A = this chain, B = another copy of it.
Amino acid sequence: MTRDIVPIAEAEISRWDHEADVVIAGYGVAGASAAVEAARAGADVLVLERTGSWGGAASMAGGFIYLGGGTPLQKACGFEDSVDNMAAFLKAAMGPGADDKRIDDYCAGSVAHFDWLVDCGVTFKEEFYGEPGWEPMGDQGLMYSGGENSFPFNTIATPAPRGHVPQMSNKKQGEASAGYMLMKPLVETATAAGARAVYDVRAQRLVVSADGRVTGVVARRYGGEVTIRARRGVVLATGSFAYNEAMVAQYAPRIAGRPAASIEQHDGRAIQMAQALGADLAHMDATEVAIFADPQQVVRGILVNARGQRYVAEDTYPGRIGQLTLYHQDNTAYLIIDADAQEEAVASLSPQLMMRPPTWVGDTVAELESEIGLPPGSLQATVAAYNEGAARGEDPLLHKKPQWITPIGSPVGAIDLRESTGGFTLGGLATTLDAEVLHVSGEAIPGLFAAGRSAAGLAAWGYASGVSLGDGSFYGRRAGAGAARA
């Protein structure tokens, strides 16, 4: 990183290589959504994409878009939901520290946003997928993706699935991810509306007019400098800082060394370009966290920490298990699962998927406890308490749902889940609900907008799958519309 991140005065630009009304850096979900809205508003739109094609992290993703409040897909699958119910869940699940106003705003616009996606050509199959898992096994369109139907959230809001998944034509052949099936129609819609794109162009610094307005971008292309004038506004949509080691060390050290579900282009550059202009940040410590174990396996066992204690209902959203393990249990977990449950888990999966074998096995829990090296008596007490409740079909400690409760028998194994997490960063530029980038003064920086994981979104600490594509597309639209108006 060099001094070339400092904003440059417009007066110093001798020639513009490109011009547009709205210039968008990054052609992932936020950039594409911004491009659609800006172009539809009549603006001449130019998207600068650093790689050789559109897509970003979105097109590699499982494709969940977190939507609710009674979308047509929710209704078609037989689920009731309301804006208030959705907001109640998100306020509990995206914190502590979530921005309630942003959640209210997002929930109020959620059904309309679903309709907008459909109007852009994104299709959703009207089928619910109810098995434990990170994603549907087939092309089903709806799934629980945040632990809505698990403790404690099922006591806070009426459970409703909100993970909306674009339909794939042939998932089993691996032809395209659901994320690709989201991105393709969005980019086609943007293109049809007149948005242009240039590829292999990396935004490097912002151009600022004498009165403090962002009026362009200086970029690199094959080692040369390219200047792009933005007559109305610039939208930053280049993703997270998951692959910027220095920023991760400064802001989210727990996730250091374990980026996942992200792409290497997520280097935080756009965040720093705006910081150099005095932009404010928010929720920089927040991260999505996956735990590398199949939910079909996890749900049939019990998770214990380094003290042999349970700490999470095993039937909740696996990303919540990941967060609680990484942040609250020092990235240490062991999945205790008996032979019958392991067999059942293996049978539940399609053959091509991998199931982790036990790291240790024992004829008794005492033996297993000793093999793992847990404090003497700790796992034995935990299993005894779990089995005592399980005999009654109950989990008084953590309220796992009865359908997943079976006493742990013998032989019994443990899967080593230490250091088995990874994820991406959720913090970024502080923005208004209109996606304007906020200066530390509290005022919007004229002409500068941000959305997607370059910006802080719905999540302050918690997470649900679909929140990033959700708030990225939702506030991407706001950014595009705002920039076109500016």
Contact = CB atoms under 8 A, between A and B. Distances in A.
Given A310-B307, A381-B385, A440 B275 contact: yes
Nearest to A97: B253
Interface of A: 1-6, 95-97, 99, 246, 249-251, 253-254, 256, 272, 275-278, 280-285, 307, 309-311, 327-329, 375-378, 381, 384-385, 388-389, 396-398, 430, 439-443, 456, 460-461
Contacts of A310: 307
A314 to B, nearest CB: 14
A388 B375 CA distance: 13
Contacts of A278: 6, 275-278
Closest 3 CB pairs of A and B: A97-B253, A285-B285, A250-B282
Contacts of A461: 253
A385 B396 contact: no
A269 B443 CA distance: 15
Contacts of A377: 385, 388-389, 396
Contacts of A275: 275, 278, 280, 440
Nearest to A308: B397
A442 B1 contact: yes
A428 to B, nearest CB: 11
A456 B375 CA distance: 37
Contacts of A327: 327-328
A251 B440 contact: no
16 contacts: A1-B442, A2-B443, A95-B253, A97-B253, A99-B249, A246-B442, A250-B456, A253-B460, A253-B461, A275-B275, A276-B439, A277-B278, A327-B328, A328-B328, A377-B385, A378-B396
Interface secondary structure of A, over-half rule: loop
Contacts of A282: 250-251
B398 A307 contact: yes
A283 to B, nearest CB: 7
Contacts of A95: 253
B388 A441 contact: no
B385 A256 contact: no
A300 to B, nearest CB: 21
A254 B249 CA distance: 20
A430 B441 CA distance: 19
Given A250-B430, A328-B328, A377-B388, 16 more contacts: A1-B440, A1-B442, A2-B442, A4-B441, A6-B278, A97-B253, A97-B254, A246-B442, A250-B280, A250-B282, A250-B456, A276-B439, A281-B284, A284-B285, A377-B389, A381-B385
Contact of A249 (B97, B249, B328): B97
Nearest to A388: B377
Nearest to A395: B375
Contacts of A285: 251, 284-285
A60 B440 CA distance: 30
A254 B327 CA distance: 13
A460 B97 CA distance: 19
B307 A441 contact: no
A128 to B, nearest CB: 31
Contact of A441 (B256, B276, B284): B276
A436 B337 CA distance: 54
A388 B381 CA distance: 12
